[in-house]
Amino acid sequence: MAKELWSWEPLRTQFLLKSVYDLLPTPANLKRWGKESEEKCALCAKRGTLSHLLTGCAIALGQGRYRWRHDRVLLNSVGSHTRGQERVQMSGRKQRSLRFVDFVKEGTGGKGQRRGKRAPDEGLGILPTAGDWVLQVDLDKKLIFPAEIAVTNLRPDVVIWSAKTRQVVMIELTVPWEDRMEEAYERKAERYSNLKQTCTEKRWKAWCFPVEVGCRGFVSQSVWRMLGALGIKGRMRKEATKNLAEAAESASRWLWLKRNETTWTI
């Protein structure tokens, strides 16, 4: 990241450095610096630390500010799963569906596979093991989990499944304050453990990947592991994590600029 700092626009660099070292003019800092007598959040009147403003304000949460950031990172994540490997067809603004094409590497089998050719190897990742993947993304909370797999009210952020090979991948994204990444991972893993077990009992091979992208753009190891498990490796994996980091940081910078506005407009 140190190399990339020199190529960033000054406002971005300034926000990242000041947010990391807690030098932004939050209400808590302004009071500490003797420039204000109050340290209240402009929205909820609680103590206005940077952590509170970017991830902990109940009013900001209720207005959909954090969800907006989450969905921006989520859309970027979907692009990471599909870019360069298939033709993508997206329709509608809310729930989005697409079919993957040509996940199988040349010479390893798949549709039209010649007799004697080797079947896809799971060492390449999960995605190359099937050619009929379907992907759904929970934007605006509209996803319905595929009933052919299991009946549930839970809505993972991303569901990818192959009916032919009876495989399902669930991805659940959180954009927390960085100190709470591990807590977020454990919470989401526990939340979806029963659904994963239900899928297994119905003879689906199931994976659940809770992943965290910190609100200031620091990507958890869970993201790196998830991309590798799917089969997104090498340069594509590095590019994907970089893009996710930028999406989170950019959205948080926008939330910071809007922190004192009582109404939420994008």
Tokens, residue 220: 């958890």
Mean pLDDT value of segment 210-226: 96
Return the higher-pLDDT residue of 5 and 51: 51
Residue 8: the pLDDT is 63
Return the higher-pLDDT residue of 65 and 86: 65
Which positions ≥6 away from 148 have C-beta within 8 Å? Answer: 163
Residue 13: the pLDDT is 86
Average pLDDT, the chain: 84
Nearest Cα to Cα of residue 136 among 85, 185, 170 = 170
Amino acid at 67: R
Amino acid at 205: K
Say how far residue 192 (Cα) sits from the centre of its chain.
16
Residue 142: the pLDDT is 77
pLDDT per residue as tens digits for the range 23-38: 999 999 999 999 999 9
pLDDT per residue as tens digits for the range 232-266: 999 999 999 999 999 999 999 999 999 999 998 87
pLDDT per residue as tens digits for the range 85-103: 443 233 233 333 333 333 3
Judge whether 47 and 40 are in contact, CB under 8 Å: yes
Residue 33: the pLDDT is 97
Angle of the 234-257 helix axis to the 65-82 helix axis, nearest 10: 160
Return the higher-pLDDT residue of 12 and 1: 12
Which positions ≥6 away from 241 have C-beta within 8 Å? Answer: 219, 223, 224, 227
Provide the whole-model pTM: 0.81
Nearest Cα to Cα of residue 238 among 249, 252, 251, 227 = 227
According to DSSP, residue 67 is labeled H
Domain parsing of the chain, residue ranges: 9-106+119-257
Tokens, residue 187: 């919470």
d(CA 169, CA 136): 11
Q: Which of the four pLDDT bands, split at 50, 70 and 90, describes residue 105? A: very low
Judge whether 94 and 139 are in contact, CB under 8 Å: yes
d(CA 66, CA 252): 9
Q: Residue with structure tokens 């753009």?
A: 217
Nearest Cα to Cα of residue 212 among 237, 181, 169, 249 = 181
Return the higher-pLDDT residue of 12 and 59: 59
Give yes or no for residue 121 having a pLDDT over 60. no
Residue 124: the pLDDT is 82
Give yes or no for residue 216 having a pLDDT over 80. yes
Residue 102: the pLDDT is 33
